[in-house]
Structure 1
Amino acid sequence: MKPRYQAILAGTLLGLMLLPPAHAEEHQPEHPIPGQADAQKDITISDISFHLPTTQGQERRQPQLYFTLTNTGHTTHLLTDVTTPACSKLIGYHTDQENTPGTYHLFQHLALPETTTLVFANAGYHMLCVGPVAQELAQHRVQVTFQFLGGSSKSVAVPVTPASP
């Protein structure tokens, strides 16, 4: 290699060594997502209940969460998660259709259109409790938190409906 190129290469490497090390940082957006900061103010949660399963033969079914969501606002909101201490995880489920990973994650990216009501009942889409926590489900009510795009959330004390004999 020619001495002139060696000098350029050495100068470049020396310059790179003087730069501070690169590292990743998390940045919060300077401005919240338009219309999403207070999604919980537009969302009404009603007809909500946790149903404990009956044991039929050797089959043990999972507790199920039913509810109705109403968006009274004039902005579409996005539900990003539903959690409760009564379950290690809540997943989406449909009673009469094939359930896929897309179904399981339905409630992690569910659009709630403006001025619309969505019903999640036992005869359609609703949520299953995976990893039920018996001591929580033994209570008369359990806390369920709905989280929305933009960081807002809404918690509801949900009645637990015992299994019928």
Structure 2
Amino acid sequence: MTPEEFVKGYKTRVAKRVVLAATNRNQTAKDMPINGFDAGIFSYLLIQYLWEQTCTPDRAIAYTNQQIPEMWEQNPTYEVKVGSGYGQQPIYLLNPTSPPANAVITEIKGNQATLWLGGLNRRGLANSSPGRLFTVVSPPENLGSKVTLQSRRGRVGIATITGNIKPGTLWRLGD
């Protein structure tokens, strides 16, 4: 699409299912440095929320709107296909099959694993110091396995592991 076709479509409500937008039609989305990398503030907040919640689009947008500083003049919005009822369904249009996760193992070498800590909010990141344990979320055959954080840089953690763990395994920061 040309930029003009995109704007025209956006203004005429083109949602086939659910469209989440970082701003309303008359605003500009903002990026900022967050925890060692640059990200759109809406994208960052939405991703954090979706790691933890299974909710409807209106609840996700309400949460992000509350978190964005008022001085930024950025109000996320959403649109659903008219008459579809998608606005009242979980945001993924699926019923969740497992509890929320904070981290996923992306790579394993020997007894060391690399974790993407995408589901930790700022408080969780601050509390993810060396020695912290993660508990398995999925798949259940990993129950009894251990993941112990050794170091962290931004949202990437290095951990020691015990048990038969594979990349893609979901974890939660232990209490």
TM-score calculated relative to the size of structure 2? 0.23
Comparing both structures, which one devotes a greater share of its residues to strand? 1
Which structure has more RCO (C-alpha within 8 Å, separation ≥ 6)?
A: 1
Computing the radius of gyration from Cα coordinates, the structure with the larger value is 1
Comparing both structures, which one devotes a greater share of its residues to helix? 2
TM-score calculated relative to the size of structure 1? 0.24
